[in-house]
Amino acid sequence: MSISSRPQRGRAGGAVRSSHYSRSASSRRHGASGARTQGRPTHHGGARTRSRGGYNSSRRAQGRPQQRGRRKDAPIDISRFINENVAPNATPDVYEPIHTFSDFALLPQLAQAVAHKGYVTPTPIQDKTIPHILRGCDIVGLANTGSGKTAAFLIPLIQKLLLVPDEQILVLAPTRELALQIEEEFVGLTRSLRLHSVVLVGGMPIGPQMRRLRSHNHLIVGTPGRVMDLMERRSLSLAHTKTVVLDEADRMLDMGFIGDMRTILATMSQSRHTLFFSATLSKEIEKLVHEFLCDPVTVSVRTRDTSKNVHQSVIKVNGRDKVDILHELLVQKDFGKVIVFGRTKHGVEKLSRLLSKRGIKSESIHGNKTHNQRVRSLEAFKRGRAQALIATDVAARGLDIPNVSHVINFDLPGTHDDYIHRIGRTGRADKSGFAITLVD
């Protein structure tokens, strides 16, 4: 299947797709304030023409500066942390895909790479999005964590790169861990395809990234902040980049990257192909969809807010030392691979050290650690050299850590969405998991 054009279709006059696919709308302004003081490019009512797709769409991409910080959400209901009716041996729902990978008519060398990775049957998000991406449609993909989303956009985009070798694709992700994970997946799919990639993230020396940008990279994966830094240093130009993926867009919104996202997209080709992935669809996210995409196909494979495989419970502290309670849990036999979430970087580091002094093999991951330190901590946890990973919410999104037995909320999450993404680290791939929240 080739990357093809699509018929004339404007946002206002486009037909609404039926069945699982529908157009997204926007209805509310996003009201974050700004930290970057320089002005941003603005586009007021200008028409964006997509020559490849043959349609016009009015686009507003106002570039207000944004504050990098969390949005203030309504208080969370602790009763929502309890779900003790999970059947431990429940038979998972089996999704019957419409397509096989051979139905996508991938180029032979890509089909071989997909088979080599062990991909046999498409996951729901892959089954429903790959055909639309191959046709060149803008996509809004809504999926739970652990759904195979990364391969869902990488496989058809690799097909595009093989067909058009001069093409350059940008993937924006909220955290460096997720960016590195995306690039790792890309490398795994393209080992024999002579396609090149670069990761642009903070916490790593900028010099080597600047040198890598002097050569042509088919795939650029980065966090908005570092991409902006390299653009301002004139080391990166996206003027001829025609494809962009916004992965975990809701998380980037939470982290205050909206101003950077607007600026980055404003510098790109106006005839771009935009793929937008999010775990949630709030009013703010709907506004971004309306702002960044043209006549998108919306694919939703979200079944419910939390995995039905996760047994959720709370432990009331009642004045006891929370570290004592946590230690009592971790010494139990079933707590084999545990992620413990805290609110602050300092608190997470302190908790990790306290547990280590008590004989619990633990690692920590938070924003004050260097890139290499974070990679070492993750590798130690993944390979079983550490029983517990003590983390801030930086680890709650995007990271694929297999066989996590328990998630423990040592500190309450800030919002219910944060809670959902925290406990999504367990109960993955049809396995059972446990989520425990300590409450005062």
Mean pLDDT confidence for 371-394: 90
Residues 325 and 264 in one domain: no
- pLDDT tens figures, 98-138: 888 989 999 999 999 999 998 988 999 999 999 999 999 99
Q: Tell me, what's the pLDDT at 367?
A: 81
- pLDDT tens figures, 309-327: 889 999 999 999 999 999 9
User: What CATH number corresponds to the domain at position 371?
Assistant: 3.40.50.300
Residues 44 and 190 in one domain: yes
Write the DSSP symbol of residue 404.
-
- What are the C-alpha distances in Å from 107 to residues 61, 138, 184, 398? 36, 22, 21, 28
The domain boundary, picked from 269, 300, 331, lies at: 300
β-strand pairing of 433-439 with 388-391: unpaired
Mean pLDDT confidence for 377-383: 92
- Assess if residue 16 is contained within a domain: no
Residues 288 and 364 in one domain: no
Q: Tell me, what's the pLDDT at 307?
A: 61
3-state secondary structure of 358: coil
Query: Shortest CA distance to 177 belongs to which of 222, 140, 213?
Result: 222
- pLDDT tens figures, 335-369: 999 999 999 999 999 999 999 999 999 999 988 88
Residues 325 and 284 in one domain: no
**Better-scored residue on pLDDT, 70 or 425:** 425
Q: Tell me, what's the pLDDT at 298?
A: 94
Residues 226 and 318 in one domain: no
Residues 295 and 326 in one domain: no
Q: Tell me, what's the pLDDT at 4?
A: 47
**Better-scored residue on pLDDT, 195 or 24:** 195
Q: Which percentage of the chain shows pLDDT scores above 70?
A: 75
pTM over 0.85: no
Report whether 306 contacts 28 (CB < 8 A): no
Tokens of 162: 């093989």
| 64 has pLDDT over 60 | no
Mean pLDDT confidence for 21-48: 37
Residues 428 and 314 in one domain: yes
Residues 230 and 279 in one domain: yes
Q: What is the distance of C-alpha 245 from the center of its chain?
A: 10
Confidence of residue 91 (pLDDT cuts 50, 70, 90): very low
User: How much is the mean pLDDT over the chain?
Assistant: 80
Residues 101 and 244 in one domain: yes
- Residue ranges making up the domain that contains 408: 310-439
Q: Tell me, what's the pLDDT at 237?
A: 96
| 160 has pLDDT over 50 | yes
Which residues on neighbouring strands pair with residue 22, listed in sequence order? 298
Q: Where are the alpha helices (DSSP H) in 49-148?
A: 108-116, 124-134
Report whether 384 contacts 40 (CB < 8 A): no
Confidence of residue 250 (pLDDT cuts 50, 70, 90): confident
